[in-house]
Copies of this chain bind each other. A is one copy, B any other.
Amino acid sequence: MALKNKKSQNFSEWYTEITGENGAKLVDMRYGVQGFVPHRTWSVQIIRRFEALLEQQVEKDGYSPILLPLLIPEENIKKEKEHVEFAPELFWVERMGKTKLETPLYLRPTGESQIYPLYSLWIRSWKDLPWKNYQSRITTYRGESTTRPFLRGREFIFFETHAVFETNEEVLKQVEKDMQITSEIITGELGLPFLYFKRPSWDKFAGADDTYGADCLMPDGKVSQIASTHDLGQRFAKAYNVKFIDQNEKSQFGYQTCFGPGIWRIMAAIIGVHGDDFGLVLPFKIAPIQIVIVPIVFEKNDKAVDRKCKELEKKLSKQYRVKYDNSDNKPGWKYNEWEMLGVPVRIEVGPKEVKAKKITIVRRDIRKRETIAEKQLERKIKSYESVILKSISENAEKFLRENIKEANTFEHLVKILNTNKGLVKTKFCALDKSGEKCADKIQQATDGGKVRGMLFDDKSRASGKCVVCSKKATATVYIAKSY
């Protein structure tokens, strides 16, 4: 009931262990179909809670939920000439029982190719705009070659918003709003900092004019995209005929954008960034159990302790998700188990505490034990709600900050990426097609280092020269290996 692998020594093995049977039992890898992962209850309970936060947030921003079919007719994918890039990765349904279907159907890889033909039917006039729908708690499908739970799957949990506007300016405002939503939930509630990039043109979503992505730094120094927004311009509108009658009674194509917080990736970051050698460390707000009460009994039936535990359970349950663990396992075993599962607060009650009207309380994140007067308990827990979030946020923030280095020469850049963790900030010639060769050079010299883009809110003009080709730099970019 303890992890064999240390997070600091071998993150990859630690990650596999903590997600599986000997860890927090988040998934079961014995299902037998590559990239299709059964989610056990603890992960589902965590994920549902932050999905709900995201649902609330996008609804506040004017999105309303829809639910579209899993299967999409073949013709749909062919309509947008860049989006068809998805085709080699699609799963196909061609048979029902023994009957061959007339049209091959593919499992949705993402929503564009099915949502926009419907938008074409639903949207009539400028009065209908902005049109904003979203889907959540759905799954999508892509034929990835390598797969890992919560990082890359052939099936993965999906959340997508799709908006249509009258102008491109509104799209850009929405991109900014999406960054705020990401920040409010993923950083503000889950304690995960990120950098928000405008991606290079060669790293855009298939069919988008521009892609913006939120990168989170994982403990092994690789970045993981935990959310993205695409400025689709009018390309999809033209492909799927998404038109509206404008205020001058003219027919116009809409400007579109879509946003996807990566539900799996966020879960991977919660596990990886906050977890430690003892197990998960869950943010208070989304922990399925927020407080566990463990009785310390020396005689088999210590009624005073049991009574006190039940009293606390009843009192705290009014505000929190509480578990009174009165199973017949030993206290030490219980400590390990609930630490593995990441329960933020543990309360220990023994005969001594009952007599002295005291409580021992343990914070999961720093594993610090404190004995306090019982009457202070509720105030203490109240304070922990924000204290724990602040503490894990600061750690994550510090790790990210400390692992951004600057490089002024190609050699320096390569050296950092090959020996250090994290991101390298440097000058770069161009994020349009003309810069792709320089990006390729970096990637080859560093075993996969990728230009993640320039910061979304970087309004400065870059000076100096490209670290690769020495041409005039047009952007300050960040380079990192990635998931």
Asked if A71 is at the interface of the complex by the 8 Å CB criterion, the answer is: yes
Interface residues of A in 90-128 (CB under 8 A from B): 90-99, 103, 105, 107, 114, 118, 121-122
- CB pair B143–A31 under 8 Å, yes or no, is no
Q: A69-B38, A70-B155 are in contact. Are A97 and B93 (CB under 8 A)?
A: no
Contacts of A121 in B (CB 8 A): 28, 30
Q: Which of A39-47, A304-312, A461-469 contacts B (4 or more CB under 8 A)?
A: A39-47
Nearest Cβ on chain B to A325's Cβ, whole angstroms: 13
Instruction: Tally A residues with Cβ within 8 Å of B.
Output: 52
Quick one: closest B residue to A28, CB to CB?
Answer: B118
Asked if A32 is at the interface of the complex by the 8 Å CB criterion, the answer is: yes
Contacts of A71 in B (CB 8 A): 33, 36, 91, 155
Residue in B94, B96, B133, B154 whose beta carbon sits within 8 Å of that of A143 in the complex: B96
Asked if A188 is at the interface of the complex by the 8 Å CB criterion, the answer is: no
**When chains A and B are docked, how far (Å) is the Cα of A49 from the Cα of B446?**
51
Asked if A206 is at the interface of the complex by the 8 Å CB criterion, the answer is: no
Contacts of A137 in B (CB 8 A): 137
Quick one: closest B residue to A143, CB to CB?
Answer: B96
Residue in B40, B64, B105 whose beta carbon sits within 8 Å of that of A41 in the complex: B64
Residue in B33, B65, B69, B70 whose beta carbon sits within 8 Å of that of A105 in the complex: B33
**When chains A and B are docked, how far (Å) is the Cα of A40 from the Cα of B135?**
11
Quick one: closest B residue to A133, CB to CB?
Answer: B41
Q: A66-B38, A66-B41 are in contact. Are A95 and B92 (CB under 8 A)?
A: yes
Contacts of A64 in B (CB 8 A): 41, 44-45
**When chains A and B are docked, how far (Å) is the Cα of A335 from the Cα of B19?**
54
Quick one: closest B residue to A51, CB to CB?
Answer: B137
Q: A92-B95, A97-B88, A137-B137 are in contact. Are A44 and B67 (CB under 8 A)?
A: yes
**When chains A and B are docked, how far (Å) is the Cα of A94 from the Cα of B48?**
31
Nearest Cβ on chain B to A268's Cβ, whole angstroms: 16
**When chains A and B are docked, how far (Å) is the Cα of A31 from the Cα of B89?**
23
- CB pair B89–A92 under 8 Å, yes or no, is no
Q: A89-B97, A97-B143 are in contact. Are A69 and B118 (CB under 8 A)?
A: no
A-B contact pairs, 16 of them (CB 8 A): A31-B114, A33-B105, A36-B70, A36-B71, A38-B114, A39-B67, A44-B65, A69-B155, A70-B107, A70-B155, A71-B155, A88-B97, A90-B97, A91-B96, A97-B143, A99-B143
Known: A37-B69, A99-B143. 18 other contacts (CB 8 A): A28-B118, A31-B69, A31-B114, A32-B73, A33-B69, A33-B72, A33-B73, A36-B69, A36-B71, A40-B66, A41-B66, A44-B64, A44-B67, A70-B141, A89-B97, A90-B96, A92-B93, A92-B96
